[in-house]
Amino acid sequence: MAPVLELRGITKRFPGVLANDHISLTLEEGEIHALLGENGAGKTTLMNILYGLYRPDEGEIYVRGQRAEIRQPNDAIALGIGMVHQHFMLVPVFTVAENVMLGVESVRAGIFLDQEDAVRRIRQISEQYGLGVDPYAYIKTLPVGIQQRVEIIKLLYRQADILILDEPTAVLTPQEVEELFKILRALSSQGKSIIFITHKLKEVMAIADRITVLRNGRVVGTTTPAQTSEEQLAAMMVGREVLLRVEKRPAQPGEPVLRVENLQVYDDRGNLAVRGVSFEVRAGEVVGVAGVQGNGQTELVQALTGLRPAAGGRIFILDKDVTTASPRAILERGVAHVPEDRQKDGLVLSFPVADNLVLNTYYLPPFAQRGVLDREVILATAERRVREFDVRTPSVLTPVSSLSGGNQQKVIVAREFSRPIRLLIASQPTRGLDVGSIEYIHRRIIEKRDEGCAVLLVSPELDEVMNLSDRIAVMYEGQIQAILPAETATKEEIGLLMAGVRKEEVRATAG
């Protein structure tokens, strides 16, 4: 039987980049096919071609044995191809039902929207696959995990049987990933074929039937989880051996750099998201904040960086009270911030790479003299940083928006790490990065630590927190459950604390 989908010799050039170089790929019915590759390897580009958003320069696509011309998304949709994009394609001010039916609206009398009909069908799909989505909810009120399910419902609603998911797990908590995998398995057992893009090797090993690895726009090879290992996959992706664990010496903590006393912060809805948190981070140590997303970590970081007012308590940086200081005053005290949402809080997407690299220092010499920007210094510095941090971009004048997701993240890291800093506040610093880049950034974080910088690392990835931290603070419902030394802490212990079990009880269960 012909494969459900076959790509032959797909080639796509962008100015200065060969994004896809004669890529061939087959997708069998009912399989989950993982697509792996470094940041900028060309995965998203390939999928956009398949979905009709880009036209390939060369190559052919066959769907169920038939040659297919996919000129626009409508053609792909008609062929039963659906895609969940790396950056979601949902209208925030619309309801779930409106988003789902957009483009294939149910109508009465030819023109009037029939929301009830759409709602009925969404409920049906939602029940069939255990998605639990309220069709009347507004997208902007939903957490990302649920938004992603809405994206999946969009595909199923259009009766797609070839599903493309571009880094669906990058924004999910481990729990949400588990649930997504259940959904994907259910879908594949019903004969849906799935292309699944991710950077997380564990996930690939857990869910994929077959794995194809891309590097520099070319297929490096196709394999199965049984025939390979995480180390092997990492090496295939990056083209060299990769350390999946971080090597570091014991910390040599010095004076406290960040001190937080009984901090309280409201969230957007006016609820107390951080409820009286106290801790300190000393020079030369990494304090990791573990916790299921949505337990106040976001608000905590925003308060520490001056982006959100504190409702109570105090924040000291280098013994100076900065509770009400402006973000600029805080960063001028030597604080670097890698924000959680890179596109919203970390970059000006339409600005070139070079400008984004000096977003928080442009007004200082050497980038500005007496209020006038010195373009040459800015450009020369940008060239250096891009090389140093291996940002894959055609030039430093390319707008950041056309960089691949992982390379956007590297721009932020390059900006924040190349200032003299005393405190690094990093929220999910490796979100969406490939294993090679993760290794690199982890190494840089440890280097900063060893230089005597204090590091506060917030990440829902338990592995990352455990690998990097010297001490681990576990947050639950706006409070710190416990602060544990990283050497003795176990995954189980932290998992229980994250789930809200109290420290004394954890000890009791463990002991």
Ligand X SMILES: Nc1ncnc2c1ncn2[C@@H]1O[C@H](COP(=O)(O)OP(=O)(O)OP(=O)(O)O)[C@@H](O)[C@H]1O
Enumerate binding residues for other proteins (CB under 8 A).
Answer: 48, 51, 53-54, 72-74, 77, 83, 85, 89-94, 98-99, 101-105, 107, 111-113, 154, 266-270, 302, 307-309, 311, 344-345
Based on the number of CB atoms within 10 Å of its own CB, is 431 exposed (0-12), middle (13-18) or buried (19 or more)? buried
Nearer to other proteins, 175 or 402 (CB): 402
**Percent helix, strand and coil across the chain, each to the nearest 5:** 35, 25, 40
Which of Mg ion, other proteins, ligand X, none is residue 316 near (CB under 5 to 8 Å by kind)? none
Distance of alpha carbon 164 from alpha carbon 146, whole angstroms? 18
Which of ligand X, Mg ion, other proteins, none is residue 19 near (CB under 5 to 8 Å by kind)? ligand X
> Least distance in Å: CB of 323 to other proteins?
14
The reply to whether 22 sits near ligand X by the rule CB under 6 A is no
> Least distance in Å: CB of 295 to Mg ion?
28
Which of Mg ion, other proteins, ligand X, none is residue 39 near (CB under 5 to 8 Å by kind)? ligand X
The reply to whether 36 sits near ligand X by the rule CB under 6 A is no
> Least distance in Å: CB of 384 to Mg ion?
26
Phi, psi of 472, deg, nearest 5: -125, 120
> Least distance in Å: CB of 397 to ligand X?
12
Q: Pairing between strand 58-63 and 66-68?
A: antiparallel
The CA-based diameter of the chain, rounded to the nearest angstrom, is 73
Nearer to ligand X, 295 or 407 (CB): 407
Nearer to ligand X, 44 or 427 (CB): 44
> Least distance in Å: CB of 167 to Mg ion?
6
83: β partners? 164
Distance of alpha carbon 82 from alpha carbon 105, whole angstroms? 17
Nearer to Mg ion, 45 or 193 (CB): 45
> Least distance in Å: CB of 180 to Mg ion?
18
Residue nearest to Mg ion as judged by C-beta position: 44
CA distances from 76 to 54, 155, 168 (A): 12, 11, 20
Distance of alpha carbon 219 from alpha carbon 336, whole angstroms? 38
Six token digits for residue 480:
């710190």
> Least distance in Å: CB of 401 to ligand X?
8
State the virtual CA torsion across 415, 416, 418, 420 in degrees, nearest 10: 140
DSSP letter string over 107-147? Answer: EETTTEE-HHHHHHHHHHHHHHTT----TTSBGGGS-HHHH
Which of other proteins, Mg ion, ligand X, none is residue 132 near (CB under 5 to 8 Å by kind)? none
Report the residue from 33, 43, 337, 422 that binds ligand X according to the rule CB under 6 A: 43
The reply to whether 44 sits near Mg ion by the rule CB under 5 A is yes
Total binding residues toward ligand X, as defined by CB under 6 A: 19
The reply to whether 410 sits near ligand X by the rule CB under 6 A is no
Contact region for Mg ion (CB under 5 A) — 84-92, 126-134, 254-262, 359-367? 84-92
Q: Pairing between strand 256-266 and 193-197?
A: unpaired
The reply to whether 39 sits near ligand X by the rule CB under 6 A is yes
Contact region for ligand X (CB under 6 A) — 14-22, 188-196, 295-303, 418-426? 14-22
Total binding residues toward Mg ion, as defined by CB under 5 A: 2
The verdict on whether omega for the bond into residue 366 sits within 30 degrees of 0, i.e. cis, is yes
The reply to whether 402 sits near ligand X by the rule CB under 6 A is yes
Nearer to ligand X, 130 or 394 (CB): 394
Distance of alpha carbon 196 from alpha carbon 151, whole angstroms? 14
The number of angstroms, rounded, from the C-alpha of 28 to the middle of its chain's C-alpha atoms is: 28
Binding mask 356-395 for ligand X (x = CB under 6 A): ------------------------------------x---
Distance of alpha carbon 300 from alpha carbon 107, whole angstroms? 46
Nearer to ligand X, 323 or 407 (CB): 407
> Least distance in Å: CB of 168 to other proteins?
15
- Cα torsion angle, 391, 394, 396, 400, sign: negative
Which of ligand X, other proteins, Mg ion, none is residue 112 near (CB under 5 to 8 Å by kind)? other proteins
Which of Mg ion, ligand X, other proteins, none is residue 92 near (CB under 5 to 8 Å by kind)? other proteins
The reply to whether 198 sits near Mg ion by the rule CB under 5 A is no
Residue type, 500: G
The number of angstroms, rounded, from the C-alpha of 98 to the middle of its chain's C-alpha atoms is: 26
> Least distance in Å: CB of 402 to ligand X?
4
Helix (H) or strand (E) holding 474: strand 471-476
Alpha-helical segments (H) within 294-426: 297-304, 327-332, 353-356, 375-388, 405-417
- The residues that touch Mg ion, with contacts defined as CB under 5 A, are 44, 86
- The residues that touch ligand X, with contacts defined as CB under 6 A, are 14, 17, 19, 37, 39-45, 86, 392, 402-407
